[in-house]
Amino acid sequence: MVYVTDVAFKAAGLALLSAWFVLDQRLLAQRPHVAARCSEPRSCRVLILANSVGLILALCAAVSFSRGRMPDDDPVAISGLLCMLVGMGIRLSAMKTLGRFHMTSVSILPDHRLVERGFYRWIRHPSYLGVIVLLLGLACVLANYASLFILVGFVIPAYAYRISREEKVLVDHFGQAYENYRLRTRRLLPFVY
- pLDDT of 32 > 80? The answer is no
pLDDT digits (tens, 9 = 90+) for 137-151: 988 888 878 888 999
Share of residues in the chain with pLDDT > 70 (%): 85
> Is residue 192 domain-resident?
no
Structural domains counted in the chain:
1
Mean pLDDT of all residues in 9-16: 80
> Is residue 175 domain-resident?
yes
Residue 136, domain CATH: 1.20.120.1630
> Is residue 61 domain-resident?
yes
Position 38 confidence tier, pLDDT thresholds 50, 70, 90? low
> Is residue 65 domain-resident?
yes
> Is residue 191 domain-resident?
no
DSSP 8-state code for residue 68: T
pTM of the predicted protein model: 0.82
Structural domain of 24 = 2-184
pLDDT for position 1: 41
> Is residue 190 domain-resident?
no
> Is residue 193 domain-resident?
no
> Is residue 189 domain-resident?
no
